[in-house]
Amino acid sequence: MALRRRELLRGAALVAGGAVLGAAVKASPLFAPAHLPIGGGYAAAADHADWERMGQLDVVWRVHTDQPLAALTFDDGPGPQWTPTVLDTLDRYQVPATFFLVGQRLRAHAGLLRGRLDRHEVGNHSWSHPDLARLDAGAVHEQLARADAAIRDELGRTPTLFRPPYGHIGGSTLIAAADFDYTVVLWSRQMRESYYQTDPPGQVRAIVEQVGAGDVVLAHDVGTPDRLIAIDQLGAMITGLRARGVRLVTVSELVRAGRPATVSPVGGDEPTGRPPAAGPVPHRSGVRHPARERLL
Which residues belong to the active site? 75, 220
The end-to-end CA distance of the chain, in Å, is 75
| Beta-carbon contacts of residue 293 (< 8 Å; ≥ 6 apart) | none
Is-contact 256 275, C-beta < 8 A?
Answer: yes
* Angle, CA 212 vertex, CA 158 and CA 94 arms, to 5°: 55
Strand pairing of 216-220 and 69-75? parallel
Task: Identify the helix (H) or strand (E) that includes residue 147.
Answer: helix 137-155
Positions of E strands within 108-182: 121-124, 161-162
User: Measured at the alpha carbon of residue 233, what is the angle toward residues 230 and 237, in degrees to the nearest 5?
Assistant: 100
Amino acid sitting at position 50: D
CB 97 within 8 A of CB 248: yes
**Helix-strand-coil split of the chain, %, nearest 5:** 45, 10, 45
Residue 170 near residue 41, CB atoms below 8 Å: yes
Gyration radius (Cα) of the chain, Å: 23
Pairwise CA distance, residues 193 & 203, whole Å: 7
Buried b (16+ CB within 10 A) or exposed e, 56-74: ebeebebbebebebbbbbb
DSSP for 31-45 reads GSTTS-SSSS----G
